[in-house]
Structure 1
Amino acid sequence: MEIIEEVFEVIEDRRENPRSDSYVSELLSQGKEKIQEKIDEESLELQEAFEQGDRDKIVHESADVLFHMMVLLASEEIDFEEVMEELERRRKPREAE
């Protein structure tokens, strides 16, 4: 999970220190509507890859969805760790085998 943390740190840095040559800075500056549009677009592409059974495209589009979800989180100043904690709360303990 180190790469997730590294990417999220970069996204947060671009939020705090926008750069003119940064896709993330540009996306964040365009606001919620544009971020939502990108999530919708990437989610649809993931669904299409899944329907086609194209494993490589599924991996590629999953990364795009995850990346844009992290941009959304950063735009709302939500730490990625909060999402991980929510998943932990939802986890059901395994029954003894």
Structure 2
Amino acid sequence: MSVLARLEATIAARKGADPDSSWTAKLLAKGPEKCAEKFGEEAVEAIIEAVKGDRAKLTSEAADVLYHLLVMLAARDVALAEVLAELERREGISGISEKASR
């Protein structure tokens, strides 16, 4: 099991937890919109670090982005496996062709 799959399982386990006992539970309790907002904030922070060129900070922010992406997906009951299946579907297809097919 990959670290992302383990993280997804942890997030799923926190879904019903007391929001006072878990940051993840607190975030999920605020609803999908708040989860999406937090994901966006973390993505912007990652962009800033990418522009600055600080590898260590970018790595840290990228980890935050992945965590918050998984929380946002969980808030909408989208499994990581669904996202990975979509990536597999696109594998080997030109980005230009794939985008044109949407």
TM over 0.5: yes
Gapped runs of 5+ residues in structure 1? none
- The secondary structure found in structure 2 opposite 1:92 is coil
Which structure has more relative contact order (CA 8 Å, sep 6+)? It is: 1
Q: Which residue of 1 aligns with 2:66?
A: 66
Identity fraction in percent: 37
Partner of 2:56: 56
RMSD of equivalent CA atoms: 1.3
**Structure 2 segments unaligned to the other structure (5+ residues):** 94-102
Runs of at least 4 residues off by over 6 Å: none
In 1, the alpha carbon distance for the partners of 2:46 and 2:17 equals 29
TM-score of the pair, normalised by structure 2: 0.84
Give TM-score scaled by structure 1 length.
0.88
- Residue equivalent to 1:85: 85
How far has the Cα of 1:54 moved from its partner? 0.5
List per-residue Cα deviations over 1:43-85 (Å, max 9, x = no partner).
1100100000000111111111110000011111111011111
Q: Distance in 2 between matches of 1:33 and 1:74?
A: 12
Give the count of matched residue pairs.
92
